[in-house]
Amino acid sequence: MIRFFSMKLLTLTLFISALFTDATGQKIADSSKRSIYKDYQKCKYVSKYTPAQRSRFYPFSIGDSVKLVSFRYHRNNCPVQEGKIFEDSLIEQKVLNTTELEKLTDILYNNFYYRQPQCCVSSITQCFFPRNAILFLDRTDQLKESILICFHCNRIEKSSEAMILGDNCNGKMEKLRQFFISSGIEFGTNTTIDIYPGETGSDYKN
C-alpha cells in the first residue's frame, strides 16, 4: 500500500514538473520569437533606388513642390485638411530644394526591414497627436497630398492609400525626425515635450 502511494506521488510529481517545464519553455520560446521579430523589424540601409527613381514614386511624382511644416495639436482642428492648408495656423514652413528632396526620399525608400518575418503581425499604436506634416503642392500651391506625422507616437497618416512610403522599419521615424530638425523644423520634433503651450484637445487638460 505504501509502495503504491509512493508510486502515485512520484508520478504526480513528474507530471507537474513536466507541465512546469513545458510552460517555462513556451514562455522562453515566445520571448525569443518577440526578440527575433524586433530584430527583423530594424532598418537596414541599402542604396537600392537612385534619386531619379525615387522621384518617380507617388506622391513625389506629382508634387511641384514639397514642404515640411509644423503646427500645434488641436483635436479635430488640424490646419492640414483634405485639399486645404490653413497657413495662419502653421508655425514653421520649409520648402525643400533638390538636395533636401533627395535626402528625404533616401530615408523613405532606401531603408528596408532587416528581414520580414512571415509569421507575425506588427502592432500599431493608437496614440496620434500630429504636429508635423509633409505637404505635396502643385504649381498653384494647391495641396495635392499630405503626410501627417506624430514623432511622439512614431506614427504617420497618409492622405491617400496610393502613396508609397517604403518599409515601416524601426529607426526610420528617428531618421525622419532628425531630417526635420536639420531642415529647421523644431516644433513637434522634441519628444521630451508632451504638451506644447496653446494646445487643446479632449486628451489634454486645458
Judged against a pLDDT cut of 80, whether residue 148 lies above it is answered with yes
Q: What is the pLDDT of residues 75-106, one digit of tens each?
A: 889 999 988 999 999 999 999 999 999 999 99
pLDDT band at 40 (very low <50, low <70, confident <90, very high): confident
Cell of 57: 514614386
Q: Say if residue 12's pLDDT is above 50.
A: no
Q: How far apart are the first and last CA of the chain?
A: 76
For the cut 60, the answer to whether the pLDDT of residue 22 exceeds it is: no
Q: Which CA distances in Å does 144 have to 30, 80, 83, 177?
A: 44, 11, 6, 23
Tell whether the model's pLDDT for residue 168 goes beyond 80.
yes
The residue-averaged pLDDT of 1-26 equals: 45
Contacts of 60 (CB under 8 A, 6+ apart): 54, 66, 101, 105, 136
| pLDDT interval class at 119 (50, 70, 90) | low
95 closest CA partner among 173, 185, 155, 160? 185
CA distance linking residue 130 with residue 104, whole number of Å: 19
Residue 49: pLDDT band (50, 70, 90) is very high
pLDDT tier, 10 (very low <50, low <70, confident <90, very high otherwise): very low
Residue boundaries of the structural domains of the chain: 43-182
pLDDT of residue 2: 44
- Is residue 130 scored above 60 in pLDDT? yes
Q: Cα–Cα distance between 56 and 137 in angstroms, integer? A: 15
Alpha helix stretches (DSSP H) within the chain: 2-41, 51-55, 98-109, 172-182
Q: Given pLDDT bands bounded at 50, 70 and 90, which one contains residue 206?
A: very low
- What value does the mean pLDDT take over residues 120-124? 55
Query: What is the CA angle 153-158-164, rounded to 5?
Result: 110
Which range in 37-41, 122-126, 128-132 is most confidently predicted, on average pLDDT? 128-132
